[in-house]
Structure 1
Amino acid sequence: MASQSKAFVSLYSGAGGLDIGFMEAGFVPSFAVDLDPMAAATYSYSYKRLRDRLPHLVGHEHHCQVADLDDCIESLDSVAAELVVGGPPCQGFSVAGKMDPTDPRSRHVWRFLDAVERVGPEAFVMENVKALAVNRRWAGLLEGLREKASQLGYTTSVLLLNASHYGVPQARERMFLIGLRDDETLAAPREISKEAPPTVGDALQGLPPWGMPGNDSKCNAIVTPARRPVLRRSPFAGMLFNGAGRPMRLDMPAPTLPASMGGNRTPIVDQNHLDGNGDCWVTSYHAHLMDGGEPYSALPDFLRRITIEEAARIQGFPPDMEWRGRQSAIYRQIGNAVPPPLGKAVASTFKGTLN
């Protein structure tokens, strides 16, 4: 390994969103593991592409192991790394789920710290949903994690970061629990796009036209009007269409992309408006309903679900990703990921911090 490159262990790696950010910041993975074989395959294939354009990865063969962390945690005793990073399953904490403290997936935040103890790195980065940092239900859990980290010799910081402030066209908020040795704390990375965040329109205009090679992985879920629309002040809130996939404003960052994309939860875009051929149809339909108009029985065909390529773009993945798995599995990998530019921003704060 080149002397200027620090090694990291990646846990719950998924398709590698957080890891791509760390690799683009100059770090090298020494170990990666995920339970999902398709996500691990995406990680491994994409690593080869990353190695083609990141010189510090040249000479390193790497792939993501398919295993539960419990099955390979003892092997971490022999792994040398300056960092341990990862995002343990968040479904038990997320407001999008049941917020169930007995959810067995919630134990993985503790297993993450068990792995940190095995590796003994200079620092660690645990990513999770916003609720773990701000919801009072989880205050005791977060305090317990910080106490455990303190017992292991780490001073912790809790950062709540919005991906749209770091060059991602998505207002995705995530918590980062960061531990450093020697009584150090880590300040939040410098925001680069808080005042003028990238928009959905900016992101999608950078892709080939819809249906053309490079943007042709279409979601087949049909957009249908709700018989009893739920109206809110914003045309992009409420429930104008069946399913939980809401239309996206082209002049704003997207809301958080869910892991349940691939069907009726996949966000909606107005292709006619995206092409510059008229005003936003969703805004006009919302005004019609607010004025007491009857719901439509059919919708124009230019209202459609976003493609895999568009979802990946909104999540901040590089265009040379090598996705593996069925369409629903790829959407899930994208929705579960940390946006790589956000990962890179966090990774960059370690420059000069690690000895």
Structure 2
Amino acid sequence: MKFGLSAVSLFSGAGGMDVGFEQAGFNVLFANDIDEAACQSYNLNHSIKSHCGDLRSFTDEISKFKGVDVVFGGPPCQGFSVAGKMDPDDERSQLLWSYLDTVELLQPKAFICENVKALAVNSRWSNVRERFFDKAASLGYKTAMLVLNAADYGVPQARERMFIVGLKSDDSSISNNSLLNDLSIELANQQNSPESIADLIRRLGPAGSEGNSKVCSAVITYAKKPVLRKSPYAGMLFNGAGRPINSFGIALTLPASMGGNKTPIVDEDEIFNGKDSYVAGYHKSLMQGTPPKQGYAPDCLRRITVDEALAIQTFPSNYKLAGSQSAMFRQIGNAVPCELARVVAVSLSSVMNKHSGSLAAA
């Protein structure tokens, strides 16, 4: 039997956020997602089975967990993302309210709602934020909104995400501001530097090796009209949206659209053979006015593998994924980095323990 805080997971995907919460000592009792491949992946790695389908069709099953300690999850973000159409009428945007409906149903002691940074900072969504906070307050929750960069917490990826944390308390001395302060202190104590992409890939081995076998075969060709930026790792030197990664730095946000030419690029010669960066050299020549090359890029450049993408998202090394390769990349890109989820879960657990005498029961 597991002990510790209990939790219900919503919009669970392949289970990245669940991994972090479980590592933090939470006992996840229920999980759900609408993506069949993601549910299959979840089931391969967790002790419970993910309920596959529309969250709104599982009200009876979920209601059994009324009074659970924590509800967590990230409603689909495409409706709010700057990478999407930012359409407030997008059906997926409405799932934010389905999330709150579940909080209202279960009355947990606390909740964590994860989403894209744009929902927290873009003026277009100010009315959505206000509505969310008003609804949470009407249910008895103090709330705090944080924007966290996964790279600050040991994740080798510059991935900024929003977290709204709610705490159900009947203690009038606990305010939204004091909750934010408590969480910020806990999070500051857990900051950690990530490993470089080169170290991560050397740990896994060359693409195609036993520990790094799920190779992405999407070709890399030179852009006929390169878009140049100051950094070799910005702009567009090659066709497609998959930009090169600085081997001795960290990755940019991994998108759910990986698997084709939107998959990031690495330089194996630089990583394994100590050669100078081909990308940096090519970028320098372009900046000096040399005409762009045409055709295929050299073999030392390749797309990152599924295994590398999993590691960048800090999934356990033995994590299994179901579905086609594109489905695997989609699941990885949609996930909350496991280590970031663990840090947030530990921080919430500490704050809940601090206020354990005043947390309102369902």
Q: TM class by shorter-chain length?
A: over 0.9
Of 284, 291, 310 in structure 1, the residue corresponding to residue 281 of structure 2 is 284
Tell me, what secondary structure is at the counterpart of 2:208? Answer: coil
Of 188, 207, 210 in structure 2, the residue corresponding to residue 210 of structure 1 is 207
Tell me how far apart the structure 1 counterparts of residues 86 and 127 of structure 2 sit (CA, whole Å). Answer: 14
| 2:32 aligned residue | 33
Tell me how far apart the structure 2 counterparts of residues 220 and 343 of structure 1 sit (CA, whole Å). Answer: 31
| 1:238 aligned residue | 235
Tell me how far apart the structure 2 counterparts of residues 197 and 324 of structure 1 sit (CA, whole Å). Answer: 28
Number of residue equivalences: 340
- State the Cα distance separating 1:209 from its structure 2 match: 2.4
Q: Match for 1:175: what amino acid?
A: M
Of 344, 348, 351 in structure 2, the residue corresponding to residue 350 of structure 1 is 348
- State the Cα distance separating 1:203 from its structure 2 match: 1.7
Q: Match for 1:265: what amino acid?
A: K
| 2:156 aligned residue | 169
Give matches, 1:194-205, under 5 Å.
Answer: 196-205=193-202
Identity of aligned residues (%): 49
Give matches, 1:244-283, under 5 Å.
Answer: 244-283=241-280
Give matches, 1:180-191, under 5 Å.
Answer: 180-182=167-169, 183=174, 185=179, 186-188=182-184, 189-190=187-188
Tell me, what secondary structure is at the counterpart of 1:344? Answer: helix
Tell me how far apart the structure 2 counterparts of residues 274 and 161 of structure 1 sit (CA, whole Å). Answer: 29
Question: Scaled by the length of structure 2, what TM-score is found?
Answer: 0.91
- State the Cα distance separating 1:233 from its structure 2 match: 0.8
8 Å CA contact 1:165, 1:193 repeated in 2: yes
Q: 1:327 to 1:93 in 2, by over 3 A?
A: same
Structure 1 residues not aligned, in runs of 5+: 48-60
Q: Deviations over 1:268-287 (max 9, x none)?
A: 00111111331000000001
Give matches, 1:1-355, under 5 Å.
Answer: 1-2=1-2, 4-47=3-46, 61-80=47-66, 81-182=68-169, 183=174, 185=179, 186-188=182-184, 189-190=187-188, 192-193=190-191, 196-298=193-295, 299-352=297-350, 353-354=352-353, 355=356
RMSD of Structure 2 on Structure 1 (CA):
1.3
8 Å CA contact 1:35, 1:67 repeated in 2: yes
Q: Deviations over 1:197-235 (max 9, x none)?
A: 432122212212221112011111100000011111111
- State the Cα distance separating 1:118 from its structure 2 match: 0.8
Tell me how far apart the structure 1 counterparts of residues 284 and 73 of structure 2 sit (CA, whole Å). Answer: 44
8 Å CA contact 1:166, 1:191 repeated in 2: no
Tell me how far apart the structure 2 counterparts of residues 221 and 141 of structure 1 sit (CA, whole Å). Answer: 39
Structure 2 residues not aligned, in runs of 5+: 357-362
Tell me how far apart the structure 2 counterparts of residues 350 and 227 of structure 1 sit (CA, whole Å). Answer: 50
Tell me how far apart the structure 2 counterparts of residues 94 and 200 of structure 1 sit (CA, whole Å). Answer: 26
Q: Match for 1:208: what amino acid?
A: G
- State the Cα distance separating 1:139 from its structure 2 match: 1.2
8 Å CA contact 1:123, 1:179 repeated in 2: yes
Tell me how far apart the structure 2 counterparts of residues 79 and 281 of structure 1 sit (CA, whole Å). Answer: 55
8 Å CA contact 2:78, 2:92 repeated in 1: yes
Give the stretch that moved more between structures: 262-271 or 209-218: 209-218
8 Å CA contact 1:74, 1:118 repeated in 2: no
Tell me how far apart the structure 2 counterparts of residues 279 and 314 of structure 1 sit (CA, whole Å). Answer: 23
Q: 1:304 to 1:91 in 2, by over 3 A?
A: same
Tell me, what secondary structure is at the counterpart of 2:318? Answer: coil
8 Å CA contact 2:136, 2:142 repeated in 1: yes
Tell me how far apart the structure 1 counterparts of residues 150 and 82 of structure 2 sit (CA, whole Å). Answer: 18
Q: Match for 1:258: what amino acid?
A: P
- State the Cα distance separating 1:191 from its structure 2 match: 5.2
Q: Where does structure 1 differ by over 3 angstroms across 4 or more consecutive aligned residues?
A: 191-194
Tell me how far apart the structure 1 counterparts of residues 243 and 52 of structure 2 sit (CA, whole Å). Answer: 34
Tell me how far apart the structure 1 counterparts of residues 190 and 244 of structure 2 sit (CA, whole Å). Answer: 26
Tell me, what secondary structure is at the counterpart of 1:350? Answer: helix
Question: Scaled by the length of structure 1, what TM-score is found?
Answer: 0.93
- State the Cα distance separating 1:307 from its structure 2 match: 0.3
